[in-house]
Amino acid sequence: QEQVVESGGGLVKPGGSLRLSCVASGFTFGDFYMSWIRQAPGKGLEWISYISGGGDKMIYADSVKGRFTISRDNAKNSLFLQMNSLRADDTAVYYCARCFWGCSGDRCWGWFDPWGQGTRATVSS
């Protein structure tokens, strides 16, 4: 069964750091892009970052650029998100998801499946 499981969330003070982890199973991890997507309490989904299968391409949303770093360890089927300089508006459930990505000419696609159960990060003093 293909699945991803996140961990590492918790309560942190503004300006602090957290490192989220995601372990994948049931598929060849290194063959796929992976992504982090978050959901603030009562709000919608917000994509924040993805990384290529080989780890050589990382893209970030403007809201986290310069503060968050995505990485992966294909030998351990693991995805990470290092979150620094955390702010109250980073409070959210963080989901890890496998990304199916590709392009045909100028038209690119990408969808997310499966998603993990999420890990909650709360930034509060």
Between 9 and 116, CB nearer to other proteins: 116
Strand (E) positions, 14-65?
Answer: 18-25, 33-39, 45-51, 58-60
User: Which pair of structure tokens corresponds to residue 83?
Assistant: 């979150």
Selected range binding other proteins among 11-19, 22-30, 75-83, 103-111, rule: CB under 8 A = 103-111
Per CB under 8 A, contacts with other proteins among 7-46 are 35, 37, 44-46
Per CB under 8 A, contacts with other proteins among 47-86 are 47, 50, 59, 61-62
| H/E element, 104 | strand 92-104
Distance separating alpha carbons of residues 42 and 99, to the nearest angstrom: 24
Closest contact distance (angstroms) between CB of 47 and other proteins is 4
Distance separating alpha carbons of residues 118 and 39, to the nearest angstrom: 9
The residue type at 34: M
**Cβ count within 10 A of residue 113:** 10
Closest contact distance (angstroms) between CB of 45 and other proteins is 4
Closest contact distance (angstroms) between CB of 83 and other proteins is 18
Q: Could you list the residues that contact other proteins (CB under 8 A)?
A: 35, 37, 44-47, 50, 59, 61-62, 95, 100-101, 107-118
